A = this chain, B = another copy of it.
Amino acid sequence: CRPTRAEAEVRSWKKEVKKETKLGMAYKKDDNFGEWYSEVVVNSEMIEYYDISGCYILRPWAMEIWELLKEFFDAEIKKLKLKPYYFPLFVTENVLQKEKDHIEGFAPEVAWVTKSGKSDLEAPIAIRPTSETVMYPYFSKWIRSHRDLPLKCNQWCNVVRWEFSNPTPFIRSREFLWQEGHTVFATKEEADEEVLQILELYRRIYEEFLAVPVSKGRKSEMEKFAGGLYTTSVEAFIPNTGRGIQGATSHCLGQNFAKMFDITFENEKGERSMVWQNSWAYTTRSIGVMVMTHGDDKGLVLPPKVAPIQVIVIPVPFKDADTTGIKGACESAVYTLNQAGIRADLDARENYSPGWKYSQWEMKGVPLRIEIGPKDLANKQVRIVRRDNGTKVDIPSTDLVEQVRVLLDGFQANLLETAKAKRDACIVIISTWDEFIAALNDKKLILAPWCDEEEVEKDVKARTKGELGAAKTLCTPFDQPDLPSGTVCFASGKPAQKWSFWGRSY
């Protein structure tokens, strides 16, 4: 308790400011999640809506997060000997259609270029929805011998999927940014191993960086990648909407594409063999999942590891105070933190009140705010306020770096724990159809014993169709509870093969 700080004054500033500048949020996360989300991504200056539906402008507050994630992931895959490539944006109709299941999966969403200038093209050209068909004819050309394997390609690029349902910034957009890895091996064992190595990196992006808890698991036959052998994924869950959301996917393509594109090699015995392939990707969607998970009624909440600014320093110059001294102390704090590798910045704008600044940086989700006023200056201390729980501490300036480090680490850990507790509270284990429907209506993340038959999943989809969308499998988690013998499928009554997560999804 610090009686000298004019808390009341700051509060009244804030109220004024919200009225005048619309900095405050009009929607609450629990009342109207959809509008709340749109408001957060726009007001925090991550997103600007664009005049083509389903396309969004990514502003620095989003792109700097994307760059931080990219820096981590790109360094990790380079350790795994992935090489950078750039394949064209365009693919001919003929090649795109080579793998039948694959094109069936993507055809309705493909954007076609048919004209250049005022002339019609000879044949329409597709914009890549993903690059399997763009790349694999060349893999066939490059791979001759077992010595050319493994081949490991990655590209960072944009892809286009012209979807019509519910465009949502980050989550479902017609153009998005991603990395796509495409690898080729001599044996299934190597491919299987890499699928999991990459999936672990995706888990780390979500849990270590974005502080979003995810489940690793395998997709059902219905939900796997079109044309692949099997798909693994990390799955997140949004408690407010009761929907699962696919975080990233790591596919083993098996030999399906190798057959269609004739990708073979001479093995060490001099025989012709067919390769094994993987493809895997994560996208800017990951940023949206993070916003949905941590944001609150004041705006964004950013995990320190991905926050473009981890600490915002704000001078609080009361009347007759030593303004120069305060500004100097603020500059010194920023300098000290920057030198220690902490992303700190100073908000020295003179046309905004401290209260307005507090609101703005809360909206933008900066983890820690440092306030320095006359008393702080006199006592050689700073006040630190946490964005996640609003707690305040005064610390001596001499301990600045050490204390900020501790607070940032705690903040990061706390976000993940809190999110995990909320997610776990939504998990319901069910065993009957009635329990399933009740849990679905209750927006739960449903763990159910399942016979693992495609027809049964289709049937569940059909029986749960409705305004909110049908239920489907999210994944079969690698972390399986006991399945006592005699357990039956909740939907078919047949013997259960596994526990799977079910629910509605994005």
Contacts and interface: CB of A to CB of B under 8 A. Distances in A.
Contacts of A66: 84, 86
Interface stretch (A56-64, A356-364, A479-487): A56-64
A321 interface: no
Most B C-beta atoms less than 10 A away, residue of A84, A109, A137 = A84
A77 to B, nearest CB: 13
A63 B107 CA distance: 30
Interface in A40-76: 48, 50-52, 55-60, 63-64, 66-67
Given A60-B84, A115-B124, A160 B109 contact: no
A92 interface: yes
A116 interface: yes
A349 B48 CA distance: 52
B112 A113 contact: yes
Nearest to A87: B57
A116 B142 CA distance: 32
Interface in A80-125: 83-92, 95, 107-118, 124-125
| Residue with the greatest number of chain B CB neighbours at <10 A, chosen from A60, A108, A349 | A60
Contacts of A115: 111-112, 114, 124
A381 to B, nearest CB: 31
A110 B114 contact: no
A60 B85 contact: yes
A400 interface: no
Contact of A90 (B92, B124, B175): B175
A155 to B, nearest CB: 8
A273 interface: no
A83 B112 contact: no
Interface residues of A, number: 53
Nearest to A153: B60
A318 interface: no
A280 interface: no
Given A63-B84, A84-B64, A52 B92 contact: yes
A133 to B, nearest CB: 11
Interface in A318-348: none
B114 A112 contact: yes
A88 B118 CA distance: 23
A12 interface: no
Given A57-B86, A111-B116, A158 B160 contact: no
Total identical chains: 2
Nearest to A108: B117
B51 A89 contact: no
Contacts of A138: 48, 50, 57
Given A63-B85, A138-B57, A349-B147, A111 B112 contact: no
A391 interface: no
Contacts of A147: 349, 351
Interface in A479-500: none
Interface in A246-264: none
A135 to B, nearest CB: 8
A85 B107 contact: no
A269 B147 CA distance: 71
Nearest to A145: B351
Interface string A350-388: 010000000000000000000000000000000000000
A127 interface: yes
A97 to B, nearest CB: 13
Nearest to A123: B52
B137 A113 contact: no
Interface string A119-160: 000001101000000000110011000010000000001101
A435 to B, nearest CB: 39
A162 interface: yes
B64 A137 contact: no
A177 interface: yes
Given A116-B111, A147-B351, A52 B84 contact: no
Nearest to A59: B85
Contact of A92 (B51, B56, B162): B51
Given A57-B86, A60-B83, 9 more contacts: A52-B88, A52-B91, A57-B138, A63-B83, A63-B86, A89-B160, A108-B117, A147-B351, A157-B158
8 contacts: A48-B141, A50-B87, A52-B88, A57-B85, A57-B88, A60-B83, A63-B86, A109-B116
Q: Which 8 A-B pairs have the closest CB atoms?
A: A116-B162, A60-B83, A55-B88, A63-B84, A58-B86, A112-B115, A108-B117, A114-B114
